[in-house]
Amino acid sequence: MAAAAAPTLAEVIFPEQANHNFSRILGDLKRSNLSITNRLRSIQHDASFVESVADALQLPLVANERCGSWYIDPARKTASAYFKSTDGHTGQWKFSTRRINLHLLRVIGEHDGCIIVDSTRRGKRHPDALSKTVPTWCAVLNRVLFPDIPSSHILHVPPNAVSDSEASQISARLPDFVDSFLSLKLDLAPLRSQITKPLRPFWITQDDTLDLDFSGDFHPVVCCTSSRRVTGTELGEGGYIQGAGDDTENWALDLTAQVWWKHKDELLSTPETGLPELIERLVAEEGPAGDSAGQVRRVAPGISVGTLQAAETQLSTPGTTCVVSLLPKTTAQDSWVKSPSHVEVGLGKSKAASRQLRDALPKICEFVSRFLSERKPEEDAAEPEKRVVILCETGKDLSVGVALALYCWCFDTEGKVRPVTEERESFTKTAIRVKLGQIMNTVPDANPSRATLQSVNSYLMDWRK
C-alpha cells in the first residue's frame, strides 16, 4: 500500500476564509460574554462584596460617580463623590478645584470615616481615582486644615499600585495643589469644624482581608475597589466582567443605577433577548431624572438650578422669578424669549449643546440682567427678592454652567445685582474659578462638563471680542 502523500503548504496553513471565520467566532464569543445579563450579574456579585465591607467596617458607603452607584444599594448609600481617574493619570496629577468633594467632610466627621466605592477595567487592581486622586485629596486637605500636624501631610498610596517614583512626583506637587485650593477663598473654619482628626486613606479589594488597622489619630477613608481583578480575558471567567458598571453608554441602553436597583430582580430574571424591550419600558416609566425630577436647588445668591420637569411650578411666579429653560433640541434664537421672565434656549444635547452654549450666553446674560434690574415705579422696598432659575435635562451640567456665567455677569463680589449700565471688565480665570468653587461647595453633585465650562470661560474672558 502506497504511503499517503505529504500535505501541501496550502493544506497545512488555514486558508484566508477559515481565518476570517475563526476571528468572527471569537468576536461572537466575546460579545456574548459581555452581554447585558453578564454585566448585571457581575454588578450584583460585586455589590455583595461592597455590602460585606460595609458590614465589617461599620462605615458609611459613598459612591464615586459615575459608576459607584451601580454597586451600592440606595438604602445604604450615604453620599456621592466625584474623584476623577484622569486626575490621577501618570504625569497628569491634579487636585480638582471643580470637584472638591468637601461635602464628604461632614460624612467623615459624623461617622469617623467612610468607604468610597469605585470599580476599574480588566487587569487593574485599583482605579486611579482611588489609588492616586483620593490620596492626593486627603493630603491637600490635611495640609490646609491641620497645618500644625506635619505627620498628616504625607501622601499615602497603595504600594502595590503606585511606584515610589510616582508617589514622590505627586508629593512634589502638593504645595501647588494647596495653593490652588486656597485660591478659592473658601471659609475654612466651617470645614475644620466638621472633622476632628486628619484624613488617612486605606485600600480594600476582593483579594484582600478586612483586617484593616485603624489604630491612630485619624479618620479612615477606605477606598474600596468593588470589582474582582481579571488578568486574562473574560472568556475564562464564567461570565464575570471586571468593572461591569463602567462605560454604560456602550451597553446599558439608558438603564441607570437607580432603575437597576429598583428593578434588579426583574432584570436578572429576564432572558437576554427580552432585556432591550424591558429596559426601554422601565427607563420610560422612571423618567430621565428619577427622584430628582422637579427639584430646584439654590447654588448661589439669587440663583437656583433644576431639571426641566420643574418648569411648570417655577413659571407660576413670573413677577419675582426668571426662568431659563435649556432645551435638548436646537431652536432659532428669535424664538427663545417667551415672556419678560421666561426664555427657552434650544441648545441640543451632549457636547454639541455645551459648544452651542458659548453663542447663547450673551443673549441669556442680557435677558436675565434686564429682568433683575427692572423695577416698576409702584414697587417698594417690601417687594420679594427676585431670583433666577436655570433648568436643563439633568439639573447638573448645562444649568450649572449658565448659573456660573450669571453669577459672574449679573452679581458683584458682594452678591448684589449689577446695574445693566455698569461697565464690566473681562473676567479672569481665577475669579471664575472662585465662583465655581462656591457653587460646587453648595451643590456637590453638580457635574458641569469640561466643554460646558470652556464655553463659560470663553464667553466671560473674551466677551468684548
pLDDT of residue 203: 96
Closest CA to 372 of 405, 419, 422: 419
> Which neighbouring-strand residues pair with 388?
303, 322
Q: What is the pTM of this model?
A: 0.81
What DSSP assignment string belongs to 240-268?
--TTTTS-GGGTSTT--HHHHHHSHHHHH
Please, is 283 exposed, middle or buried when counting C-beta atoms within 10 Å of its C-beta (0-12, 13-18, 19+)? middle
- Torsion sign over Cα 315, 318, 324, 327: positive
In this prediction, residue 14 carries a pLDDT of 55
C-alpha cell at 275: 432585556
Q: Residue 224: which of 98, 94, 56 has the closest Cα? A: 56
Which grid cell sits at 101? 468633594
Q: How far apart are CA 310 and CA 328, in angstroms?
A: 15
Residue environment code for 130-144, b if the CB has 16+ CB neighbours within 10 A, otherwise e? bbbbbbbbbbbbbbb
Return left, alpha or beta for 213; rule: phi > 0 is left, psi -120 to 50 is alpha, else beta. beta
Res 232: pLDDT: 64
Contact 158, 165 (CB under 8 A): no
Half-sphere exposure of 150 (CA within 13 A, CB side): 0
Closest alpha carbon to 57 in 229, 219, 257: 219
Walk me through the domains of the chain, giving residue ranges and CATH numbers: 36-229+238-246 (no CATH), 293-374+385-462 (3.90.190.10)
Residue 298 parent element (H or E): strand 296-300
Query: Beta strand 303-307 with 296-300: parallel, antiparallel or unpaired?
Result: antiparallel
> What is the DSSP code string of 39-95?
HHHHHHHHHHHHHHHHHHHT--EEEETTTGGGGS-GGGEEEEE---GGGGSTT----
Local structure of residue 417 (DSSP, 8 states): B
Q: What angle do CA 26, 31, 32 make, to 5 degrees?
A: 100
- Our CA dihedral for 245, 249, 250, 251, rounded to 10 degrees, sits at 60
Q: Which residues contact 183 (CB under 8 A, 6 or more apart)?
A: 97, 430, 433, 434
Residue 296 half-sphere exposure toward CB, CA atoms < 13 A: 22
How far is the C-alpha of 134 from the C-alpha of 171, rounded, in Å?
A: 13
Q: Identify the H or E element spanning 322.
A: strand 321-327
d(CA 4, CA 2): 6
Would you state the pLDDT for residue 427?
Answer: 86
Cα–Cα distance for residue pair 390/365, rounded to 1 Å: 12
Q: Which residue has the cell 415672556?
A: 339
Instruction: Say which residue the cell 501541501 belongs to.
Output: 8
Amino acid at site 420: V
Query: Per residue of the chain (465 residues), what is the pLDDT tens digit?
Result: 556 666 665 555 656 664 555 455 444 444 556 789 999 999 999 999 999 999 999 999 999 988 899 999 999 999 999 999 989 898 889 999 888 999 999 999 999 999 999 998 877 889 999 999 999 999 999 999 999 999 999 999 998 889 999 999 999 999 999 999 999 888 999 999 999 999 999 999 999 888 888 888 999 999 999 999 887 665 556 788 998 888 888 888 889 999 999 999 999 999 999 999 999 999 988 865 444 545 789 999 889 999 988 877 777 666 789 999 999 999 999 999 999 999 999 999 888 999 999 999 999 999 999 999 886 545 455 556 788 999 998 898 999 999 999 999 998 877 788 887 777 777 888 889 989 988 988 888 888 988 999 999 999 988 655
- At residue 139, the 3 state secondary structure works out as helix
- CB count within 10 Å of CB 465 equals 6
- 387-392 β-sheet, strand order: 296-300, 303-307, 387-392, 321-327, 342-346, 337-339
Amino acid at 361: L
Distance CA 50, CA 244 (A): 14
CB atoms within 10 A of CB 96: 19
Residue count of the chain: 465
CA–CA distance, 252 with 393 (Å, rounded to integer): 19
Q: Which segments of 287-374 does DSSP mark as H helices, in order?
A: 311-314, 350-373
Name beta bridge partners: 188: none
Contact 240, 234 (CB under 8 A): yes
Whole-angstrom distance, CA of residue 251 vs CA of residue 237: 19
